[in-house]
Amino acid sequence: MENQPAWYDRFFRHEYLAFDEHPNTDLEIDFLLNTLQLPDQSCLLDLGCGYGRHAIPLAQEGFHVIGLDRSAELLQEATTRQKDSDLNLSFIRGDVRQLPFAHPFDAIISMFSSFGYFEDENENFLVLQNIAEALKPGGLFFIETANRDFIIAHNPPVQIYRPPNMTLIEERTFDSLTSQSLVDVTVIQNGTETHLHHAIRLYTATEMDMLMASVGLQTLGVWGDFYGGDFTTDSPHLIFLAEKA
């Protein structure tokens, strides 16, 4: 269907806000702080910031934070959650393929598999090029995605969740040719079914390291979880820290 919106334009709306749960956000923030080791007042960009789950606590740590996201609904929620008006924090609606910033950042983060959204691999690469260009020399890029090998080995084909007042059914497949994780989501709420979909390109650690190098980012560290564990094929996460040369 030619006029069908991209999956990410429909997925990240009010249903997502209702079922998205992250009990380990504090752990993720602690790992970010310990890994980045940024001085106070550093300028940080949160790409795909969503409703500010990381941007707000990072701003509370004394950083100048800009959160960029494509979803107007998630950004509205982020603004609502930003209760402290004194924070050096702003949220901007934009597209990661066209970053609108004139001044470079000390660090950029991409959390919760917010990279690899585009079917065209050239567009995913463009995002990484934009990230490198938006960093200062010596600036840091921190990215966390799902581990491709873990998803292939351990993800069940069907998962059912029951958030408050909702039933969520996820049907999962993996396309070995495109290396995409494909998930059909059925949301049942108030007697109504809503059908959503997401498709994310997942990368091996070797691919990610090569991509980083190709845009001038040198890998400094690789981990498999937010406890600082070594990366293995059984790690749930693929976490990279890289530096702009």
Question: What is the enclosing helix (H) or strand (E) of 80?
Answer: helix 72-81
Q: What is the pTM of this model?
A: 0.97
Query: How would you class 49 by CB atoms within 10 Å of its CB: exposed for 0-12, middle for 13-18, buried for 19 or more?
Result: buried
- Give the contacts of 222 (CB within 8 A, at least 6 positions apart): 205, 209, 231, 238, 239, 240, 241
Long-range CB contact pairs, 69-73, < 8 A, 24+: 69/12, 69/93, 69/94, 70/8, 70/9, 70/12, 70/94, 70/95, 70/96, 71/8, 71/9, 71/12, 71/13, 73/12, 73/13, 73/14, 73/17
Spatial distance between the Cα atoms of 64 and 80, rounded to a whole number of angstroms: 19
What is Dmax (Cα atoms) for the chain?
54
DSSP class of 98 = B
pLDDT at 1: 47
Q: Find out whether 141 and 153 touch, Cβ atoms under 8 Å.
A: no
Tokens read off for 116: 């690899």
Q: Which residues of the chain have pLDDT under 70?
A: 1-2
Fold for domain 7-147+203-244?
Rossmann fold (3.40.50)
Q: What is the dihedral of CA 214, 220, 224, 230, to 10 degrees?
A: 130
The candidate with the shortest Cα–Cα distance to 241, out of 222, 225, 224, is 222
- Residue in this structure with the two tokens 């581990």, named with its chain if needed: 147
Boundaries of CATH 3.40.50.150 in the chain?
Answer: 7-147+203-244
